Structure 1
Amino acid sequence: MKRIAWNGRHRASSEYFTVDQIIHEYMIFHNKIIEVFNNHKVTDTGAIHLLKCCIDKSMLKSVEAFTKSIQEMQNKLIGTLAHDIRNSLSAARLGIEMLDLKAGPERVERMRKMSMYSVDKALHMIEGLLDSISVKAGEGMMLSFSEINLFSDIRTIYEEAEEIYSEKIIFECADKELNGIFDATAIRRLLENLITNAVKYGESEKPISLKVVKECERFLSLAVHNFGPPIPQEKQEEIFNFLDHTKGTNKKELQSWGIGLTLVKMVAEAHGGKVELISKDNFGTEFKVYISRVINEPGKQRTKLNFAQNS
């Protein structure tokens, strides 16, 4: 039955799959088995009835697992979006609270821009929240691609993090022309999640670095590094799984890492890229995200989901 439940979850990760198709698969399987029975002249009605009961039960279990997985997708996508919307609105509120007219026009303008930026980002994510309510099998967030220069968005993420966190954050970006076709809101959320994790799990007395490199004419790399205890080697793949059902004492820790990292992986792959993780003693942890500048066309498209293969 565990294998059957896995089949339902696996189908939920298959793009455009439906409950009707699961039932159709089992009908085909049932017909093939009956055909084999007929070819071998099996007439034992008890065996045939038992087979039918097993197939019916398997079909019900598979449909149940499929439906449950779709619901989990919706809950997690909506929960992640709601979490990031709250963070954006909190940053906007912080900017308003720090708005001191006596601090001088430059400081006031910086806080105003930070607040407006955070509110605008929250509004974009609310649109994504509405899209997530109608998610289907294999589908993730709806992204909206446009031709832009990412530099100002990344620079704003760095400046906002400097205001919010007490940790020293180092920003490195030699090229200010980071042009390409991106979803800027998704990239900002990606970096915010990586920086938040770096602050949460890093050593507070040591700096966090955000490094952006134009790798070639096609790709950018965005790397966030922190010092501190490494992520265990055996857990480094699991933290990216969208619906992680890992058993064990570290489940809570994995889930706390995975809330943002599933989003990071989805966004990277939607941009034709990938995520690389290095985490070891005497080095700390670095997440490096590669994104293509040219693979997408302007417009909307949904990301695909990644499931644990051993669920």
Structure 2
Amino acid sequence: MLEGTMRLADFILANVQPIVAEWETFARSLARGAEMTPLALRDAAEKILVATARDMQTEQSLPQQASKSRGHGGAGGAESDRLDESSTTHGLERVGAGFDIMEVVSEYRALRASVLRLWRRSVPQADVNDIDDITRFNEAIDQSLAKAVASFTRRVEQSRRMFLAILSHDLRNPLSVIRMAAGLVARTERDSRSQEATAQIEGNTQVISRLIDDLIDFASTGLGSAMPLSRERVNLKTLCREVFEGFRSTHPQRTLRFNSQGDVVGSWDDARLRQVVSNLVGNALQHGSADGPVELAVASQDADVILSVHNEGTPIPPDALATIFDPLVRYTTPEAAKRRTQGSIGLGLYIVRAIVGAHGGTVSVVSMNEGTTFTVRLPKQPSDQ
């Protein structure tokens, strides 16, 4: 039998077990919940309910109410902190149980409906305090949901990136063995068929190696730290020319132009900036007009260096521009798809942004009928110097 009281917080504290039982029943109706034990289904539910009720009984100001209504907490008291802790734990446990994010949200929706329905059933007549009680309850549930979803998505993202990091690392060892074996065959076998086969092995292992490098860079930027840098004195003019000459030799049919102005020496990671230039120029060659030039320029501007890559061709649609630096998102045209380099999974521009950001710089893109230009701004010195 439910024990009813006029105030909602008191009702919740007096009826935690019946409410949690409804929580468990709903969770069991979900696909993953059908396989779980009652204890696992309830996980932090009781603590969330108790902390919610206690938080509702705590005095709070109007600004605190506004903060909580947006799911940001804001009461600043022990009960609000307990609610955050229990909600965070619930989100993490639901990840481990195999729930998806929509199932977690559905649990909260069902909890909200159950509490209000059971409370209203126990209270025959409305009271002047009802509106305030319902408002405080909804604010607390919103706060709890925000914390649970945040912890859920953070753990999923960490797991996904960790998987990529481990996979990329473990792929390197067998790849190295394959390359060594291919090199040995190439030195010992002289017939044309063996030479052709080893050349194919070498070419494809280079493709896989590029994929692994991109995956490692992608994973390293999502594990709670910025992309690591090894700074040294770098002449960006020399670096760009070396990278550019490599593209000239591999794309002799294309028109490539390079220009440098001013003092473009700074404290940067040489290898990382080579990735930036290579990715941007390679992107311009693939997506730009086959007949138009690709132009690389670097120039000094006060304490910064401006690097730009321009290509002619069909402009990038505005909706594609909005996600062009997002990982694993690739915009292409049918013509560009034919020229796509093997070993690309759509991480190139994401890695460019990560490298530039680690240097304290910015990268932007403008695409119009005249063509597309990526512009990188790099401080010559770290901000702490």
Same fold per TM (> 0.5)? yes
Amino acid at match of 2:355: V
Could you say what secondary structure the match of 1:172 adopts? Answer: strand
Cα offsets for 1:263-306 (capped at 9, x unmatched): 2222222222211211011x1101011100012569xxxxxxxx
Which structure exhibits the higher relative contact order, with contacts defined as CA atoms closer than 8 Å and separated by 6 or more residues?
Answer: 1
The 8 Å contact of residues 328 and 346 in structure 2, kept in 1 or not, is answered as: no
1:68 aligns with 2:88: no
TM-score (norm 1): 0.56
Could you say what secondary structure the match of 1:240 adopts? Answer: coil
Most deviating of 72-81 and 194-203: 72-81
Partners of 1:244 and 1:64 lie apart in 2 by 23
**Larger fraction in strand:** 1
Deviation of residue 221 (structure 1)? 0.7
Deviation of residue 178 (structure 1)? 2.2
- Assess, with a 3 A threshold, how the Cα gap between structure 1 residues 76 and 172 changes in structure 2: closer, same or farther: farther
The 8 Å contact of residues 193 and 261 in structure 1, kept in 2 or not, is answered as: yes
Amino acid at match of 2:362: K
Cα offsets for 1:54-74 (capped at 9, x unmatched): 988876554332122123445
TM-score (norm 2): 0.46
Q: Percent identity, aligned pairs only?
A: 21
- Assess, with a 3 A threshold, how the Cα gap between structure 1 residues 174 and 71 changes in structure 2: closer, same or farther: same
Cα offsets for 1:114-165 (capped at 9, x unmatched): xxxxx9xx99x97x9499569523x342222123322222111111111112
Deviation of residue 231 (structure 1)? 0.7
Partners of 1:276 and 1:130 lie apart in 2 by 20
Could you say what secondary structure the match of 1:67 adopts? Answer: helix
- Assess, with a 3 A threshold, how the Cα gap between structure 1 residues 213 and 285 changes in structure 2: closer, same or farther: same
User: 1:181-260 maps to which residues of 2 (within 5 A)?
Assistant: 181-216=267-302, 218-242=303-327, 259-260=347-348
Alignment RMSD: 4.7
Partners of 2:376 and 2:286 lie apart in 1 by 19
- Assess, with a 3 A threshold, how the Cα gap between structure 1 residues 32 and 159 changes in structure 2: closer, same or farther: same
Amino acid at match of 2:152: E
Q: Choose the corresponding residue for 1:168, options 247, 255, 260.
A: 255
Question: Partner residue of 2:84?
Answer: none
Could you say what secondary structure the match of 2:223 adopts? Answer: coil
Question: Partner residue of 1:102?
Answer: none
Cα offsets for 1:184-204 (capped at 9, x unmatched): 111110111111111111111
Structure 2: stretches of 5+ with no match in the other structure: 1-43, 61-114, 120-132, 176-205, 332-336, 338-343
Question: Partner residue of 1:291?
Answer: 378
Question: Partner residue of 1:261?
Answer: 349
Could you say what secondary structure the match of 1:141 adopts? Answer: coil
Structure 1: stretches of 5+ with no match in the other structure: 1-23, 87-118, 247-252, 299-311
Deviation of residue 207 (structure 1)? 0.9
* Count of aligned residue pairs for this structure pair: 220
Question: Partner residue of 2:104?
Answer: none
The 8 Å contact of residues 131 and 141 in structure 1, kept in 2 or not, is answered as: no
Deviation of residue 80 (structure 1)? 9.8
